[in-house]
Structure formats: structure tokens, C-alpha cells
Amino acid sequence: MDLLKAMTVFVRVVETGSLTAAAVACDLSPTMVGNHLQALEARLGTRLIHRTTRKQQLSAFGRTYYERCVDILGLIDDSERLALDHLATPRGRLRVTAPVVFSNECLIPAIGDYCERYPEVKLDIVATDALSDLVDDGFEAAIRIGALGNPDLVARQLTPYRLVLCASRAYLQAHGTPSTPEALSTHQCLTYAYPPRSEWHTAQPEWVLRGPDGRVSVPVNGRLKIDNAEALRRAALRGLGIAMLPAILVDDDLRAQRLTEVLPGYVAPERQLSLLYLRERQMSSKLRSFIDFVVDRFGADARSHHVDQAVSRA
């Protein structure tokens, strides 16, 4: 027996005054209404309604039980409305992770708009270049650079991550400007020390470029290897070598001529940038709101005014 269904039918019988009227209210046959009522009385071991061919009357226990059923069913309705309201209105704490440079240069400058739009969502943003496990590390979403290999995650493509070779004028004046990719092997190249959980952690230092003659891979070497893009940028500004850095990090330096692009006829392949989240039957409204916001601002098809603003900020 479905106890809640039987309680609902009992309440309708009391409120409408007859099994026939309750059947209409519950969209059941009169026989089915009678069956629910009999099953409920059998479960309780007592009569709820005294019925004759001409009238029905609540028993003393039936009246008390009716009032309790009204309270219980009301609480259930309130709980369902609360759940629907929770699903409809983004609220609660949302934990996400993103690469350091993307966080600093793109996500954080834009996040004020998200917070204004969804004031009941509390964001925990962990800026790290380490690969985090969404389940083990307690994240609901992650922005990640590079190839994806987890079929349990849904990936939404964002605007690809572009890299640029650059150095200070002081370095180039002191050591010369390379005219071919192969000439990089004779220069101080500032390379990135990838974290242990990165797909590039074990890769040999080399820079891959595409130019007029196609793809070329150049082994590089230098005194400095740093695990932070901002620190690499500062090393390049100090004239310590040539660096391959995210365009979103150095675009302003290039415009202000604090840094100079090296080998402008060659480009580094763009890296895939994705927003990842777990497959869920019922996605929370807070996660949906964050996904929609990030895809709108930084999606692969969103090369619009607000994206340009975020990418080229100071």
C-alpha cells in the first residue's frame, strides 16, 4: 500500500463528504477510493469512517488521524515547494577550480557580473595549474587546459588558449634577436615547470611552432624553469631570457613595448581550454548558472565584446 496516497485519499473523502466526490478529486474510481480507505483502516487496525448507505461519519480516532494527515501532507507540500524553489533559484556554495593565469586575467575580472546576477551563490575559486579530481577534491566544475581523457566528465569548449614568444628589448639587444626557430637553442629560454599531475610534467623542454614551412619543434634550454606564469613574465621583463607565455598575460606588455614578440612569423599551437563538470541527472541551478555564464563569456563561439574586454584587460 502507498501510505501517502492512502492518506491523501482519506483526507479528500473527509473534505468532500463522499467516496464518489473524493474519486473525482483524486482522479480515481470510487472502487479504488474505497480500496485505499479499507487498506488504510486495515493498516491502522481501527475504523476511520463509519459508513452507511446514506451517510458517513468520522470516528473519534478518524478525526484525530485526519488532522494529523493534514499536517503531514502539508509538510510534504512545503518540502516539495522548497525543493522546487531551490532548483529554480541559484543558491548555495559552488566550488570550482581554474588555471592561475585564466583565473587572474579572465575569470576574476568577470566574476563580479556573475555575483551581481546571482547574489545567493557563494563561490570558492581555487586557482591552480595542478590537475584536480572533481570528485576526490570536491569540485563541481573545473576549467582546464589541454586534452581531456575522462569520459565521466562533460566538456564545454572555451576560447582556445593562445601562447606567444616574447622577450625584453634589453635581452634582445644584449643577446641578439633569433631569426629562425632553430636559433632559439642558443638563447636563454625561460621554461615552465609543470606540476606533477599535469600532462606535460614529464615532457622534455621544447617549443612547438608553426610557420611558413609548417610545424617545427625546437629543444630549448635555459637557467630558469619556474612553475608560475606570472613569475616567468617578470623574469622576461627583467631581461633574463625568452619566454613562451599566455597571450592574455602579456598582451598589455606587448602593446606597451615592455616586451617584444619574438619570431612573429611563427605561432605556437593553440591549446584547448574546456569547462568540465560531472554528468548528473538533475543539475543544480547554481552549477547551471555558472556553466551558462562561463560559456557565454569565454565560450569557443563567444568572441564578442565582453570576451575581448576580459582577455585584453590590464
Instruction: List, for residues 21-72, the tens digit of each pLDDT value.
Output: 888 888 889 899 889 889 988 988 888 888 776 778 888 898 899 899 999 9
Q: What is the mean pLDDT of residues 148-169?
A: 88
Report in angstroms the alpha-carbon separations of 220 from 42, 83, 129, 263: 84, 57, 22, 15
DSSP 44-55: HTS-SEEE-SS-
Q: What per-residue confidence (pLDDT) applies to 222?
A: 87
Bridge-based pairing state of the strands 121-127 and 92-98? parallel
Looking at residue 302, what is its pLDDT?
Answer: 56
Residue 151 vs residue 11, higher pLDDT:
11
Does 1.10.10.10 match the CATH number of domain 3-88?
A: yes
Please state which CATH number belongs to domain 92-160+272-311.
Answer: 3.40.190.10
For the residues 203-208, what does the mean pLDDT come to?
A: 76
* Radius of gyration of the CA atoms of the chain, in A: 32
**CATH 1.10.10.10 segments of the chain:** 3-88
**pLDDT score for 310:** 38
Percent of the chain with pLDDT over 70: 89
Q: What is the mean pLDDT of residues 149-178?
A: 90
CA 296, 301, 303 angle in degrees (round to 5)?
80
Q: Which position has the higher pLDDT, 160 or 79? A: 160
238-265: pLDDT as tens digits = 999 999 999 999 999 999 999 999 999 9
Please, what is the average pLDDT of the chain?
86
Which residue spans of the chain are classified as CATH 3.40.190.290? 163-261
- Distance between CA atoms of 19 and 25, rounded to whole angstroms? 10
Q: What is the mean pLDDT of residues 6-26?
A: 88
User: Going by C-beta distance under 8 Å and a sequence separation of 6 or more, which residues neighbour residue 57?
Assistant: 49, 50
pLDDT band per the 50, 70, 90 thresholds, residue 167: very high
| pLDDT score recorded for residue 308 | 41
Q: What is the pLDDT of residue 304?
A: 43
143 has pLDDT over 90? yes
Lowest mean pLDDT among 25-39, 90-104, 293-307: 293-307
Cα–Cα distance measured from residue 41 to residue 53, given in angstroms and rounded to the nearest whole number: 19
pLDDT tops 60 at residue 158:
yes
Which one-letter DSSP state was computed for residue 129? Answer: S
Kindly tell me if the per-residue pLDDT of 202 is higher than 60.
no
311: pLDDT strictly greater than 60: no
> Residue 149 — very low, low, confident or very high, per pLDDT cuts 50/70/90?
low
Which pLDDT band, with edges at 50, 70 and 90, does 313 fall under? very low
Its sign, for the CA torsion 255, 256, 262, 263, is: positive
Portions of the chain given CATH number 3.40.190.10: 92-160+272-311
pLDDT of residue 78: 77
Q: Which fold has domain 163-261?
A: D-Maltodextrin-Binding Protein; domain 2 (3.40.190)
